[in-house]
């Protein structure tokens, strides 16, 4: 879904806020994000945008961080740990599928912003509390599931230069089923090898 850039207004220049930058960046998508394009979308000059974000990498990091923080991550409650990890991986798969280019920022620790890291730690603690496991065990389980899910989703939902994705076409349902099966198999394997509490 592409939204039209905001039209320049007469009079006072548009206010550049973090929220406007992020919203426009998400609408453009990480692979297509440029300073000039984002500035045009919010109705300011790209030089004005540089006063708020120092470079393109920082801009992409800001947008990736916001995508992650806006993610409606499923809460760890009211089910088995196995079922929760399956639901978590499905939600994460959908997040990466909707936002091409996000995987790089989620997997690279150097690219993770403090708010992203804090949300991950809080999620590990909540999962540990909900299922009576140690935070370290919760962290290992969630991190392993997340790493493999993100990498696989990035491959399955990536686009070629002509815009095609492996998930498109007549085999899409088969690929989705294999994805879900593979993630569930990984989760069962992880749970079978974790130490008893």
- What is the percent of the chain with per-residue pLDDT over 70, rounded to a whole number? 84
Distances (CA, A) of 99 to 48, 126, 185: 26, 26, 25
Residue 2 has pLDDT above 60, yes or no: no
Q: Is 111 helix (H, G, I), strand (E, B) or coil?
A: helix
Q: Of all helices (H) and strands (E), which one includes residue 70? A: helix 56-70
pLDDT band of 16, cuts 50, 70, 90: confident
- What is the percent of the chain with per-residue pLDDT over 90, rounded to a whole number? 59
Residue 3 has pLDDT above 60, yes or no: no
Instruction: Please give the pLDDT value at position 166.
Output: 59
pLDDT: which is higher, 14 or 73: 73
Residue 180 has pLDDT above 60, yes or no: yes
Average pLDDT of the residues in 118-134: 95
pLDDT one-digit tens code per residue, 129-176: 999 999 999 999 999 999 999 998 888 877 666 666 656 667 778 888
Instruction: Please give the pLDDT value at position 109.
Output: 65
What mean pLDDT is reported for the chain?
A: 86
Q: Is 194 helix (H, G, I), strand (E, B) or coil?
A: coil
Sorted by where each starts, the structural domains of the chain and their CATH numbers stand as 18-66 (1.10.10), 73-193 (1.10.357)
Does this model's pTM top 0.75?
Answer: yes
pLDDT one-digit tens code per residue, 30-69: 999 999 999 999 999 888 888 899 999 999 999 999 999 9
């Amino acid at each position: 879904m592409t939204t039209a850039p905001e039209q320049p207004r007469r009079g006072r220049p548009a206010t550049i806020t973090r929220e406007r930058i992020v919203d426009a960046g998400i609408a453009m998508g990480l692979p297509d994000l440029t300073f000039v394009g984002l500035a045009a979308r919010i109705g300011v000059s790209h030089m004005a945008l540089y006063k708020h974000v120092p470079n393109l990498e920082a801009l992409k990091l800001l947008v990736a961080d916001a995508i992650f923080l806006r993610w409606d991550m499923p809460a760890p409650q009211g089910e088995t740990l196995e079922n929760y990890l399956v639901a978590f991986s499905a939600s994460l798969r959908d997040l990466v599928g909707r936002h091409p280019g996000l995987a790089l920022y989620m997997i690279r620790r150097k690219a993770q912003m403090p708010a992203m890291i804090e949300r991950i730690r809080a999620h590990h603690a909540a999962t540990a509390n909900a299922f009576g496991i140690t935070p370290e065990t919760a962290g290992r389980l969630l991190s392993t599931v997340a790493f493999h899910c993100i990498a696989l989703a990035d491959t399955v939902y990536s686009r070629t230069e002509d815009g095609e994705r492996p998930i498109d076409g007549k085999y899409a349902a088969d690929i989705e089923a294999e994805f879900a099966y593979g993630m569930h198999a990984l989760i069962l394997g992880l749970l079978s090898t974790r130490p008893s509490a």
